[in-house]
Structure 1
């Protein structure tokens, strides 16, 4: 048997081994969620079809997201997990093919004289060069193929998990950037308020010394000034924390030119993101795809566990030359070959094979439950975001009207105070109302912006 015959035998055997596996036929579980969300939405383009660079219109925010995608350590770990899963799949796939190798050997043996018919000790040598296959499993029952399929699905799950991590990072970075913008605007508002109240204290102090203002009015203005000073300190710390959180997501410090000076809602020109049908939206989310790939991997492992009950056939074969002299290896008549098929059939394993099959089936059932839970969680995320969107628009409008009314009330109170109609306490109350209304407006606008980011993420957009 020469090397050509050996290769032909290996290819023929490989063709025979390319049979179907014993894994159960895969069927995607039905989505355990309603057919539609309570809050409907219409639009021309789905979130999954809108790239994040298109959705986020502010150039500074786009640059910050790019830096986060480039330097974030968690995302780097997710990318390395893909490389790990790819290598593991390649290892498992390689088991399908025979491993061909070349071996060169020398065997020297000394035989004592008393064990030799000639009565004299002898040294015998044997040289050999061969190429062959070592312990290649012929996969008649699909055990190796099932393990390969499971490794492939794990690799695809890691890729989907990486895309899901990208979506999450894009959303977290945008939300952190908006939070920093809102905190900076709150800080600026507190500083303006502090400056105005410091001026009020100075005027009230002068009036008190002139006998035109009471001690109560002076203390009230001082209290309001100190409250504003405390807010400045609190918001300064909030700005620092928000900047630190953004820097952690990006993985590096950011230049001031990329940071927002104030809060501006410049996310997208798309007026409304369509929610679509749950069955269409959820199946496109990478985290759902990752859960399904893990389910497919668990299903393939059942095939490997079933195949372990059947005989395992391995083949070892080699062809080459052998000679007692090194210079005679390639002489005529030195050809040698070895063919060793081996069959092993499990007879008694103490229940180990059955237990392995039970483990594989239970893990499949766990993967089904995790897949269904992932769908339910995703459905709830979208439903919550849609419910918030339905009310946040009205909340922002109400907050804007509240600020307008508080500004007019403050203007009238200031005029009445100057005319001597109202006391200083009435004016201070109007100032407090206006300050609180402006803070509420900032918080409401931030909530609306964060909701739009969240909705974009949960609808499956952002990873392109």
Structure 2
């Protein structure tokens, strides 16, 4: 009766622990959303985009009138030394003068202002592409760091299992040697292999700790419990299943490439803006001056208000060759931006091709390594049976154990790389979104 009562309670406790563990697991989407608000690299790009957004307001200010007010107050000390006018004799006086001027300038024709405004719009557009590219980069970096933690977790589990298996073999070798049924060679082999597995487990745990810190560096949150990789999930080929369409899509839609194209356009507009230094400018000028002067030796003071309306034409003639020099510099920088665009285009093509090939080959590689795990399990069982029957020594069994856990690590790593390459392919095509992260999460539990 006691056993019947405690068994359901134990099952309920295990179920509650499983539910609690599942509820507290940090999903890939959770990590990405945390990174959106805390990753310094992404936040820096976000603030830079906001700063660039002010360029249109700065440039548009060149079309609007500007007003300024000048106030000047002077004190004049005047002394008449001699005068041919018999009314004024020699003498001295001191009087103040207040001069107030309000001037308003309205640009009427400014080629440089027009070019700067068009350039500012291109800069804002480029910053938008850079921000979107940074968002996709954040998705890939978060996924890579998340999957790296999972792979490191697997490596620790495999290293621990291998160490425990070798430890059992070492105990068996010690017992057989004491009973006179084993050899010192088997004992040395087991001891050496056990020491190696202990070292590998320590190394795996160190890598796991570092991987967790890498994820925390992006998300700003401590890494506690994450999802785990399902034993079986769908291995699908890219759609379309040929590389050329992906290369074409990447050439047209890749966000980093589009940002570079805008950079070329900005550089071209800079040539026009600097060349505008050769063009005349026309401004309408309105000014009002109020001058209040105190008394002088020649007569009483005065208070004069002057209002002026005018159109000012400024024709640049020669500035020491400055305009020509800065225009040449802009032209050279335009050529530089074109070379950078070509470099980016080639890099994107390589990225898309590598991601496509890795995704396609990854489906085959995962299946092949899965079969290798099964084959290594069979080989280990056969060699253990052979050892018990005296056909094999302990060393082939230890080698089979090592090969089995190596195959398991390779199989797990291939699955993680397959998932990550799917994201990299979408990033190269410029189509990566949270939906792709959701699809990766479906392979986790």
**3-state SS of the aligned residue for 2:222?**
coil
Structure 1 position 351, deviation (Å) = 3.1
Q: 2:340 aligns with which of 348, 360, 370?
A: 370
Cα distance in 2 for residues equivalent to 1:401 and 1:205: 34
Match of 2:174 in 1: 205
Do 1:109 and 1:123's aligned partners in 2 also have CA atoms closer than 8 Å?
yes
Q: What are the residue-to-residue correspondences of 1:121-160 with 2, within 5 Å? A: 121=92, 131-134=102-105, 136-140=106-110, 142-160=111-129
Q: What are the residue-to-residue correspondences of 1:1-400 with 2, within 5 Å? A: 60-101=27-68, 109-114=76-81, 118=88, 119-121=90-92, 131-134=102-105, 136-140=106-110, 142-250=111-219, 252-257=220-225, 259-260=226-227, 262-264=228-230, 272-274=238-240, 276-319=245-288, 336-400=306-370
Cα distance in 2 for residues equivalent to 1:128 and 1:267: 84
Q: 1:425 aligns with which of 395, 398, 404?
A: 395
Unaligned segments of structure 2, at least 5 residues: 1-24, 295-302, 435-445
Cα distance in 2 for residues equivalent to 1:133 and 1:265: 75
Match of 1:50 in 2: none
Cα distance in 2 for residues equivalent to 1:72 and 1:166: 11
Match of 1:439 in 2: 409
Q: 1:165–1:268: structure 2 CA closer, same or farther, 3 Å change rule?
A: farther
**3-state SS of the aligned residue for 1:256?**
coil
Relative to the length of structure 2, the TM-score reads 0.79
Cα distance in 1 for residues equivalent to 2:359 and 2:409: 20
Structure 1 position 335, deviation (Å) = 5.8
Do 1:131 and 1:320's aligned partners in 2 also have CA atoms closer than 8 Å?
yes
Structure 1 position 264, deviation (Å) = 4.2
Cα distance in 2 for residues equivalent to 1:61 and 1:248: 15
Cα distance in 2 for residues equivalent to 1:230 and 1:264: 28
Cα distance in 1 for residues equivalent to 2:125 and 2:64: 22
Moved more, 414-423 or 65-74: 414-423
Q: CA RMSD in A?
A: 3.0
Do 1:311 and 1:346's aligned partners in 2 also have CA atoms closer than 8 Å?
yes
Do 2:56 and 2:117's aligned partners in 1 also have CA atoms closer than 8 Å?
yes
Cα distance in 1 for residues equivalent to 2:39 and 2:260: 24
Structure 1 position 97, deviation (Å) = 1.4
Match of 1:11 in 2: none
Structure 1 position 185, deviation (Å) = 0.4
Deviations 1:412-443 (Å, cap 9, x if unpaired)?
Answer: 22233333443333322322221222122122
Structure 1 position 122, deviation (Å) = 5.0
Unaligned segments of structure 1, at least 5 residues: 1-57, 326-332
Q: 1:301–1:426: structure 2 CA closer, same or farther, 3 Å change rule?
A: closer
Do 1:182 and 1:263's aligned partners in 2 also have CA atoms closer than 8 Å?
no
Cα distance in 1 for residues equivalent to 2:234 and 2:123: 36
Moved more, 377-386 or 112-121: 112-121
Cα distance in 2 for residues equivalent to 1:225 and 1:236: 17
Structure 1 position 113, deviation (Å) = 4.1
Which has the larger Rg?
2
Structure 1 position 288, deviation (Å) = 1.5
Match of 2:5 in 1: none
Do 2:238 and 2:356's aligned partners in 1 also have CA atoms closer than 8 Å?
no
Structure 1 position 88, deviation (Å) = 3.6
Do 2:123 and 2:266's aligned partners in 1 also have CA atoms closer than 8 Å?
yes
**3-state SS of the aligned residue for 2:63?**
coil
